[in-house]
Amino acid sequence: MARAAISRAPVSRAVVRAPRDTAHEGFLTHRRGLWWKVALALSLVVSAAYALIDQSPRPNGGTALGYGLGTLGALLILWLSLLGLRKRIITRGAYSLKAWTSAHVWLGLSLIVVGTLHSGFQFGWNVHTLAWGLMMIVILTGLYGIIVYARLPEQLSANRQEVTQPQMLEAIRALDAHLDNAAQPLGPDDAALVRLSLEKTDIGGSLRQRLGGSYARDGNARALAAVRGEVERQRLAGKPDQRLAQILFLLERKEAALAQARRHIGLKSRLEIWLYIHVPATFALLAALAAHITSVFLYW
């Protein structure tokens, strides 16, 4: 009996579920995936209605189902766009921001089905397709946002290596000061190269550089290439100028510091860029929706 009791004890302990730590549950799987289930069910119901209900003469926004889907889609869009207001008020529980965000994401994705079936796959150069196109831009940028939010923070923290943003800038500034000092004895040509690094280095650069990560035309890269070439030449000719070799060392260290900062910037840009499209496109969508609905009844 005693052995049985002993052997049963760990089993019963294993069965008892530890209280869920909701604070560490992501918004995608909030409440065990309630909202993706709701969104999937909505998409399936809507698709089944589209397939089964006879829409004569052909499916579009003007049939009874079309009006129904349009109303549903418009209400969804209005509610989804309210996240911008809602996120500024953080609460807990059923109506927590996390619950709201979870619903926003999943219902937003189901809008692809609702909105497209509302169109009956009729597209053209008009305000109606404009509204659909803007809706798709908003949804797809949002989808991109979810993907980068899920994947990039890990890379971001791996790249930072416990260094803060101000520290990254500080390191570059310190190297600049060293470069400035070390360049003082140099002749005008070499000094000009150092000035290239000091004055023509744009840490962040343009949007394209931030997203593409190509900084080859940047001041420091050009100065580094020129100085490295010069030092190589001197080394082949005999004894290199120690002062220039010191400059080369500093430029290389600055390039490494820049590379880390720029990887950080690149990742952060990708984390941010979608919102720069998602949010304005949402407002454009609301305007296009107003034009779409008004024009339909204007020219009935």
Would you say 34 or 291 has its CB closer to another protein? 291
DSSP 164: -
In the shown chain, the binding pattern of residues 220 to 259 toward another protein, with x for contact by CB under 8 A and - for none, equals ----------------------------------------
- CB atoms near residue 9 (< 10 Å): 10
* Interaction between residue 126 and another protein (CB under 8 A): yes
Kindly state the smallest distance separating residue 68's Cβ from another protein, in Å: 9
Choice from 30, 98, 254, 264 touching another protein (CB under 8 A): 264
Stretch touching another protein by CB under 8 A, among 1-9, 35-43, 44-52, 262-270: 262-270
Q: Is 241 helix (H, G, I), strand (E, B) or coil?
A: coil
Contact present, 177 and 143 (Cβ < 8 Å) = no
Kindly state the smallest distance separating residue 36's Cβ from another protein, in Å: 28
Q: Is 110 helix (H, G, I), strand (E, B) or coil?
A: helix
Distance CA 181, CA 243 (A): 11
Nearest CA to 278 among 153, 149, 157?
Answer: 149
Residues 164-193 that bind another protein (CB under 8 A): 165-166, 169-170, 173, 176-177, 180-181, 183-188, 191-192
Alpha helices by DSSP H, 214-241: 219-237
Would you say 113 or 194 has its CB closer to another protein? 194
# residues near another protein by CB under 8 A? 70
Distance CA 230, CA 279 (A): 50
Kindly state the smallest distance separating residue 23's Cβ from another protein, in Å: 27
Would you say 57 or 238 has its CB closer to another protein? 57
Would you say 7 or 184 has its CB closer to another protein? 184
Kindly state the smallest distance separating residue 284's Cβ from another protein, in Å: 4
Nearest CA to 279 among 141, 74, 102, 148?
Answer: 141
Stretch touching another protein by CB under 8 A, among 45-53, 104-112, 231-239, 271-279: 271-279
* Interaction between residue 98 and another protein (CB under 8 A): no
**List of residues 6+ apart from 3 with CB closer than 8 A:** none
Distance CA 61, CA 65 (A): 8
Amino acid symbol at 110: S
Distance CA 163, CA 171 (A): 10
* Interaction between residue 62 and another protein (CB under 8 A): yes
User: What does the angle CA 146 – CA 282 – CA 264 come to, to the nearest 5 degrees?
Assistant: 40
Which positions lie near another protein, rule CB under 8 A? 54, 56-58, 60-62, 64, 122, 124-128, 130, 134, 165-166, 169-170, 173, 176-177, 180-181, 183-188, 191-192, 194-195, 198-199, 203-204, 206-207, 210, 261, 264-265, 268-269, 272-273, 275-276, 279-284, 286-288, 290-292, 294-300
